[in-house]
Structure 1
Amino acid sequence: MLLDYDLPEYHVSKRKRFPSSVKETLLESTRSEWKDHPRFGGKASFFMSIHRNLLDGAAQLSRGIEQLLDVPASDVSEAVMQMNLLPFAKNLIGFAHHHHEIEDHGYFPQFGLMYPELNRGLSLLDGDHKVLDAALDDTQVALDRLDSKMFTRDQLANLHAGGQALESILNRHIWDEEEIIIPIFLRH
């Protein structure tokens, strides 16, 4: 890895902004002008729509889990079924994992060869993906406990906290990822 990912300025769950040491290596681009770019309608727009779907799904999952906190313990299983929460979460988590695999094994290696100066940023995204994949897996495990009806209020509260954390790191990661990759799509 080209940076110490565990430092707060780099770690997706700790950083508050895009790291300046990575930002200075990026292709020149202004986010506010992306949609006006002649090539925006291709992969740039496509990737941003996938990212919006992931962010919307994470927010919906977090809200759904939050609603469960107000449901009496004896009714949580029924509420989970009525909300269709488990199939929704399974699809969202699978979609996020698949998206990361495409980026990690397809796009990012290509981008690193095309623009070696971006390897620091791509290394940051790789670290993010590892954290996100673990958070997604932890969320799935916690949701599976709801399905087995072997849960406690504390587990539900932990699931809620985990859902909020997942939403937060996904927001940070996607914003930063777009700063790195969208300018590449606009060039090619």
Structure 2
Amino acid sequence: MTDALEDRTGLPDALKVLLAQHPREGWRAHPEFGPLTQFWLERHLGFRRVLDALQGDLRARIGGDLDPREHGRRLSRLGGILLNELHGHHSIEDHVYFPKMIPLAPGLERGFEILDADHHRLHEELDAFAEAANAVLRDAADGAPRMAEGLERMARFLDRHLTDEEDLVVPVILKVGEGRLG
């Protein structure tokens, strides 16, 4: 199995040791599950919801059920949210939280390297999304179908990344406590 985002079906088993000790079903009940972890997971859910909304709007536009001008307004707003918020989220992870977690999670360094590589790959997708969104906003004839393909790919990649990130990071937080990350 390759570590590349496009090819991954999950984290390598060697990086799931803490997940085995702290399975998803028990996260919220764990005494170290606090407001930082809750906020972080809510951000991930928000990214998924924005992508779902973008995809739904685009399907409606292609199907003739959403006026192109209304779609343009929604695309500008939601697309801006996705681009800005995801970029900021990744920056905080890469420059603040991951560097603090790596020494607290010996043996899991490779997992953080994978997540960092994902961030770079996802930013390529975000650049392609911005280009496709601009084509749709200019009302290019092939813009909407091209954008639909790109959004589908980005949704797959982002979901894979967010799931793997949660499976690595949340168990680290539960093991060491949120206070060690502040």
- Per the normalisation by structure 2, the TM-score is 0.87
SS in 2 for 1:125: helix
Matched position secondary structure for 1:122? helix
Number of the residue aligned with 1:112 = 102
Answer whether contact 2:50 2:82 (CA < 8 A) is retained. yes
Shift of 1:86: 1.4
Partner deviation per Cα, 1:7-33 (whole Å, 9 max, x = no partner) = x53111221232224334768321111
Identical amino acids, percent of aligned pairs = 26
The alignment of Structure 1 onto Structure 2 pairs a total of residues equal to 176
Task: Confirm whether residue 37 of structure 1 aligns to residue 30 of structure 2.
Answer: yes
Match of 1:87 among 77, 87, 98: 77
Report the aligned-residue RMSD. 2.1
Q: Tell me the equivalent position of 1:127.
A: 117
The question of whether the paired residues in 2 share the 8 Å contact of 1:26 and 1:118 is answered with no
2:93 matched residue in structure 1: 103
Using the TM superposition, name which of 105-114 and 83-92 deviates more: 83-92
Match of 2:54 in 1: 61
Taking structure 1 as the reference length, the TM-score comes to: 0.84
| One of 78, 81, 85 as aligned partner of 2:69 | 78
SS in structure 2 at match of 1:35: coil
1:141 aligns with 2:126: no
Q: Matched residues in 1 for 2:29 and 2:111: separation? A: 25
CA drift at 1:171: 0.8
The DSSP-based 3-state class of the residue aligned with 1:36 is coil
**What is the Cα deviation at residue 79 of structure 1?**
4.0
Q: Please give the alpha-carbon distance, in whole angstroms, between the structure 2 residues aligned to 1:158 and 1:96.
A: 22
- Deviation of 1:85 after TM superposition, in Å, equals 1.6
